Structure 1
């Protein structure tokens, strides 16, 4: 699961933006940039943990892979799936994120390659996917809490608790509560430490033969693939922080490399412990089951510690995800894709309208089950990633001489080959989607296709005010403007 802190420290909402000259990207001074006043730079170690929370936040939520496919396929999935999906996405994020050090991230990539219409579609699908993802965190929080407080396991108390969490955390987001930098480092250590302790305590009970248990005739491929996909995607979300990274052309690629290792180990070893030290009952392996594993291995104290870690992780991810979603709407408004009122900030520096829109979406989606939320999010995310792959390849073809501080080797042919395995995987994930999820997701995509022309019509009629920030660089002349980073 993922802590999407993508715009997390953007009470600042804004890096030092710049203007293009013919040979370099010239930073605008603080005296001419109102955005720069809120800027801060993120160094390597904090950035690693920011990416860790964007993608993962700890092994909370991976339990369904064991229920769906058994220990062997669950363990293999978290070793092999990153090679097919996480590594290519991280590499593309490294290249594009250093090429466009702007908080708009993937919206800017797609806009530069395919035009503002498809840039808007990318922003719509990514925002909607993020809101759907954010609806998971109250669900996961309550799933870990229900073993200690059974009343929140279902019915009206669960609905009331979900809404209460959403309202409280939304208010914290409004007040500018964000998780960044060294706070992310501390939360990362706190989230993983109980699993380290559980690993040492489990050594006498480990039975390696349990890791090999599998039954290919009894695999829920839809649940298995969606859970893997959900737990190992969103590497591109860090692109919305590219402008706030210290020396991004070196720091961002290195941080992505270290974060891939941290995320994979953070999933694999807890699964290794849980499946090896506890007798297998696949039906019990659902979201929240690690707290029961902790109870079996270490007792009540370890369960409470793990539940506290899960709670902090999920609460932090909710606040950060909403921050990312709301600042994305602000960024799209600064590019003239949304009405100007989306750029308005609260007195705490947070995008009030974006927060209200995102919180409303979370509340509307709170009735869905964990599996339905994951499947719907993945469906929309897949379409957004297809646009990113297309943009990545087209920019290689159309602008081969544009500055790429970090460039994946292999030329255009290598770029195409890199995108083939994850594209095939996207096809597989979409194929296994249920008709209900497919129907709802396609309706959501259709809304975006119609919404953009409608907004353009509204702009033409001057029913709402749209504006384009003069501080943002022009995306039209990438080859002439050789360097896009300062």
Structure 2
């Protein structure tokens, strides 16, 4: 057939992945930080009774969680990028310090995530339904569960957010029933129980710190959020109230309803026994099912944060471009696989080892984050911050003192083995930084274009180009094209 060639229409562009809104983001932050009261039981045993954990969950959210949440809300609104805290530290102290923070935070998150498939099986095994597995089958089950949850993460962050929302409702539901049933049995005097001889300060502070940290982890999802400058602060503050309530209400109900002499029995998973004693077998099974499902939500939220952090670091030119490559679902394929591999490798470690190691690593990163927050306030007071903590530079510095002191306390209580392990991780991070820089200079692998110098990314608003400040940051934080491209380092 002859004649003019028929014009071929270009293929329709792939639909953009759905962005996170307030409620799914609250659920993801909730799971980054908490996931429910599961895991706080050991604070009662280590605290020698109910008094110290109750005081801890009343005071530490003000001294630790709130400052961290406020810093996260301000800086995530100013830098809505998937690099999150890595971008903040880079803007304040340069790429080398930011790279080390990225390594320590990613290692801490991966250690944390290695807990959840194991805890999921522990809760099922303690349900009395004959679900305990022998060691070989257990190892295979951990691998299978990790693979299934990793696949869900691959399928899209919006799907993860919606599943986290549903899991939040399910995980907290049995504690509403527990609280209602416990009210007639509560004796307020039991909340004052304290056996000083039974106090384990290292266990207590590690338990409290672990249950109240990771507020900044969701900042690595800021680039995937609908209107992040408005949505992120709302979600952070909504999550603060949800987390504190999810800890305090069941703790008050359980310790107030059971005799003070049971303090030594409060170890991980004891809330299911509290349910048995207060409501019966049906409530025990409900709590165990909620605990198991909560671990799935914790895994999903942590893996999302860790993998999108790697994506953000790749977009900043800090690590190879392959980590920024997205699937058709908008998720960072190689970054997810890297995080999942780390989880599998670390899942053989014990619960207490993981808690202490990750707390120390996380503390190192948070010291850099608080320092970056204060420095950016002092160096660039006019940097546009859609949400701004209503204090000046001096007030910002004072606000950071309590959490910094808590971090130092937790570090000072760490074992010698934890110091050694963390020193090895830091040294490995330094070696990795110089190795990556060497690979970049010799073009061994592909990198996205490096960022402008730190000063240009957050220059003073009084500079001649102040009107272009938003454009400069937009260039700093811009997503790459659909092919994972953008300019490359040749």
Deviation string for 1:255-305 (max 9, x for gaps)? 322321211111011111111222342332111111121122112211221
1:20 alignment partner in structure 2 = none
Determine the structure 2 residue equivalent to 1:93: 72
Give the corresponding residue for 2:382. 401
Compared CA separation, residues 354 and 395, structure 1 to 2 (3 A): same
Tell me, in whole angstroms, the C-alpha distance in 2 between the residues paired with 1:306 and 1:482: 51
Q: Does 1:259 align with 2:259?
A: no
Structure 2 CA distance, aligned partners of 1:354 and 1:247? 24
Moved more, 237-246 or 117-126: 237-246
Q: C-alpha distance in 1, partners of 2:397/2:153?
A: 40
Structure 2 gap segments, 5+ residues each: 1-12, 478-490
The worse-fitting range, judged by mean Cα deviation, of 225-234 and 173-182 is: 173-182
Alignment of 1:184-263 (within 5 A): 184-263=164-243
In the alignment, the residues of structure 2 paired with residue 245 and residue 262 of structure 1 have an alpha-carbon distance, to the nearest angstrom, of 20
Contact 1:206/1:273 (<8 A) preserved: yes
1:339 has 2:312 as partner: no
Q: What do the CA deviations read for 1:134-180 (whole angstroms, capped 9, x no partner)? A: 01112321232222256637744544433332233223333447655
For 1:59 and 1:173, locate their aligned partners in 2 and report how far apart those are by CA, in whole Å: 24
* Matched residue, 2:36: 58
CA distance in 2, matches of 1:88, 1:421: 9
Could you tell me which of 456, 459, 467 is aligned with 1:477?
Answer: 459
**Cα pair 2:124 2:289 within 8 Å, conserved:** no
5+ residue gaps, structure 1:
1-33
What's the Cα RMSD here?
Answer: 2.6
Q: Distance in 1 between matches of 2:148 and 2:374?
A: 42
Partner deviation per Cα, 1:419-458 (whole Å, 9 max, x = no partner): 1111111110000111112211111111101211111111
1:87-486 equivalent positions in 2, closer than 5 A: 87-148=66-127, 152=132, 155-176=135-156, 179-279=159-259, 280-468=261-449, 475-477=457-459, 479=461, 480=466, 481-483=468-470
Q: Distance in 2 between matches of 1:296 and 1:48?
A: 32
8 Å contact 2:272–2:287 — kept in the other structure?
A: yes
Change (3 A) 1:324 1:48: closer
* Residue range with higher mean Cα deviation, 50-59 or 126-135: 50-59
Q: Is the contact made by 2:124 and 2:132 (CA closer than 8 Å) also made in structure 1?
A: yes
Return the alpha-carbon distance in structure 2 between the equivalents of residues 419 and 35 of structure 1: 44
Match of 1:49 among 27, 35, 60: 27
Range with greater deviation from structure 2 (112-121 or 316-325): 316-325
TM-score (norm 2): 0.86
Q: Distance in 2 between matches of 1:261 and 1:234?
A: 15
| C-alpha distance 478-295 of structure 1, shift in aligned 2 (>3 A) | farther
CA contact 1:177–1:319 (8 Å) conserved in 2: no
Question: How many equivalent residue pairs?
Answer: 452
The offset of 1:36, in angstroms, is 9.0
Residues 383, 458 of structure 2: 8 Å contact kept:
no
445-454 vs 239-248, which moves further = 239-248
Conservation of the 8 A alpha-carbon contact between 2:164 and 2:297: no
User: Which moved further from structure 2: 140-149 or 403-412?
Assistant: 140-149
Per-residue CA deviations over 1:13-72 (Å, capped at 9, x if unaligned) read xxxxxxxxxxxxxxxxxxxxx9993352513x3433332222111111111101111211
TM-score by length of 1: 0.86
Map of 2:59 onto structure 1: 80
The one-character-per-residue Cα deviations of 1:359-386 (angstroms, maximum 9, x if unpaired) are 2211221121111111111100001001
Cα 1:394–1:470 change in 2 (3 A) is closer
**Using a 3 Å threshold, how does the CA distance of structure 1 residues 153 and 386 change in structure 2: closer, same or farther?**
farther
The structure-2 alpha-carbon separation of the partners of 1:197 and 1:426, relative to structure 1 and needing over 3 Å to count, comes to: same
Q: Secondary structure at the match of 2:50?
A: helix
Q: 2:20·2:158 contact (CA, 8 Å) conserved in 1?
A: no
